[in-house]
Structure 1
Amino acid sequence: MRRADRLFLIIHALRGRRTALPARGLAETLGVSLRTIYRDVADLQRSGVPIEGEAGVGYMLRKGADIPPLMFTADELEALVVGTRFVRAFGGERLGRAASAALLKINAVLPPELRERGRRTRIFAPELDDRIEASGVIDRLHAAIEARAVLRLEYRDKDDATTTREVEPLCLSFWGGTWTLGAWCRLRRDFRSFRPDRIAAFEATGEMFEDDAKRGLDAYLRKVGADPGAID
């Protein structure tokens, strides 16, 4: 379980309780050690979450505290609104729908002043029908990455020469106008970055590839000069 999810579940477990919840009960529910619960609760308290109690006694929210399921500052909310607009414009249809649905859920638990702050932001990402994101290509490539499906590409280079490649797709990157598909190319036996707008056609071969340390995502990121540990 991700730490962010665990912190959210701790707050959720404490909401509405009239008696203290023992740390041991939290640890058993979340499948972590008591030390982890103590550390997580201390971090939440330092972040301003009004949790009262102590180790060996239990924890509860301070009487009268109203903790919504999600807590954002005005700047954090504006970042989410702008991020949603960019995902809708550039992330493909599936993620675009999901981003819109997520923002609706977030707005449902926000006080009116924060909802209004989000509406007032002046950073936009217009959705246009003539971009590659509207063609379904990004969605199909994304699905192949998630499924670890080997793809057969008909790929045009900068001189318009076409080659057939079998690739193991690893990631999609957006460079502010251009997408690239990071992949292991079986023809070149090396990593390559393919531009989706130069893929004339592609299909799944029916073969699935295994995660491999030598030609997987982390190795690709190191090859292109990125730190795998810094990628969120």
Structure 2
Amino acid sequence: MSSLAERHQYIINKLKKEGNVNVFDLCSELEVSSVTIRKDLKLLEDKDLLYRTHGGATLSNPYTVDRSVNEKEKIKSGEKTVIGEAAAQLIQPNDCILIASGTTVASLAKSIQPVGSLTVITAALNVALELIHHPDIEVIQLGGMLRKSSSSVTGLYGEKMLEDFSCSKLFLGVDGIDLEFGLTTTNMMEAQLNRKMIKASQKTIVLADSTKFGKRGFGKICGLEEIEEIITDAGVSNHMVETLTSMGIQVTIV
């Protein structure tokens, strides 16, 4: 398969099936050099058929932008509700958990019905306001500078507070999940606070609808090797699920 048209069709078909392609894999499969593949990807990008990334390409724009919480909560709202309900089932009696920020973890907060007492430490103001009405939930609100776009705090005050806690689970919302770059958010300071949350937790569970896969935000939170489970919806590709599972990450599809 050496003709230009055949290579391009192969690349597009593989992208439609898997969502992304890797230069090294394409070289092996098409038996051409990396220089040839990179030229092919450049030509296809010029035709608006794909987006080039480091070491490969993807079908959709991998870069996310910061949006207000009011705008984000309208995206995949039904899926986020079901993801939140599934995550709530993981909370144990007398648990102590961390909840980060984002519209998907806000759906978790709405689904929590604790058995026994529950302690929740959160950066998100909307999560705290949702849980404050439960008599059996003790809410610890992290301090810091309030981000209006996410209704959550960032900064050194919250990071310092986390040094005094050890929680069983962190429920983490993200803006992007990329197989190479890891987990990201659109804000650097929020990414830093999320890293501190991971250190303060025994297990990290990512709540993300399927639109977050293959995306990258500005601030890197961590590599995929630092998380244990992802809860998402059926829109995620089989290739993505298989790759994450092979890395030892539990993928729960609801």
Q: TM-score range by the shorter chain?
A: under 0.3
Larger radius of gyration: 1
- Structure with more contact order per residue of length (Cα contacts < 8 Å, sep ≥ 6): 2
TM, length-normalised to structure 2: 0.24
